[in-house]
Amino acid sequence: MSAIATPEVAIQRRIVHRTRGSAHGPITRLVSPGDLGEVLKPFIFLDRFEVAAGGQPPRFGMHPHSGIATLTYLMSGQTAYEDTTGEHGARGVLPNGGVEWMMAGGGVWHTGAPENTERVLGFQLWVAMPPELELAEAHSIYLGPEGVPHVGPARVLLGAYEGAVSPIPAPSNMSYLGVHLQAGETWRFMPPAGHTVAWAAVGEGRLTAPAALTTGDLAVFEDQGGVIEFTAQTDVAFVLGSGVQHPHELFMGPYSVHTSADALHRGQAGIRERAQLLRQQGRM
């Protein structure tokens, strides 16, 4: 059991909104930039995905992004990846417990597909970038489970928590954790000062926080200060985000989110330039 000693804090954050999103085959869209993403920004998009062993995995093909970063966390199974970062791009297989970080910047193309030899379960998150990063050079980071720091039951996927720092530097003041609890275990999370945005999404299992949440639920917590207490009713795995709210308006295009119309125009131009290079290389 891991707990934060906060006896002086009596108030717990309440759940003010919950959703089960919209399912499309093996993918459930829990957050989009045009709905809850406006409330939870810098966390502007979240998909939960699950494919049974031997099932038909989704195939996305090469597709672009600009202005945002994506973070994929695998709770079970493995998935192949390919991207256009660097001189020659990157490709490989992300293992169980691994993390993929794709900072799209001024334009990138990538693809991925779960391996269907075993059950695959995970989340893909989009993070809004501040103006100084939204058109930066694209880069990617791929971590195996051994590269993800732990604090008790919490894996630090992005940013820092309780002195543990992810190899993936957060683009702004935020924390993103993957938490795994055994049945009957209680864990308390105290968001850092100023983190008015806080939410959790259940990958599998049942917990209370303090209301009951089960597989596929996403809960948004009130923006008042206070601890969030999670008690596992069964073995449970969930992701949790907290942060300072992104202060910029969201300007959206296909696969792109920026802080201004001009930045969006430049990001989409970068996507087109990279598409031309991919065609020259015979990769699309």
Can you tell me the mean pLDDT for 170-174?
Answer: 96
User: Given this model, what pLDDT does residue 116 score?
Assistant: 67
Residue 52: which pLDDT band, with cuts at 50, 70 and 90? confident
Every domain of the chain and the residues it spans: 15-56+64-280
Can you tell me the mean pLDDT for 163-182?
Answer: 96
For the cut 50, the answer to whether the pLDDT of residue 78 exceeds it is yes
Token duo for residue 240: 């949790």
Residue 59: which pLDDT band, with cuts at 50, 70 and 90? low
Q: Report the 3 state secondary structure along 225-271.
A: CCEEEEEECCCEEEEEEEECCCCCCCEEECCEEECCHHHHHHHHHHH
User: Given this model, what pLDDT does residue 4 score?
Assistant: 47
User: Given this model, what pLDDT does residue 5 score?
Assistant: 42
Residue that the structure tokens 């207490």 belong to: 229
Tens-place pLDDT, residues 141-161: 999 999 999 999 999 999 999
Q: How far apart are the first and last CA of the chain?
A: 49
User: Given this model, what pLDDT does residue 9 score?
Assistant: 44
Q: Torsion angle, CA of 275/43/36/52, rounded to 10 degrees? A: 70
Q: What is the mean pLDDT of the chain?
A: 91
User: Given this model, what pLDDT does residue 277 score?
Assistant: 80
Residue 6: which pLDDT band, with cuts at 50, 70 and 90? very low
In this prediction the pTM is: 0.92
Contact 261, 134 (CB under 8 A): no
Amino acid letter, 136: A
User: Given this model, what pLDDT does residue 55 score?
Assistant: 74
Q: How far apart are CA 284 and CA 269, in angstroms?
A: 17
User: Given this model, what pLDDT does residue 7 score?
Assistant: 45
**Does CATH place domain 15-56+64-280 in 2.60.120.10?**
yes
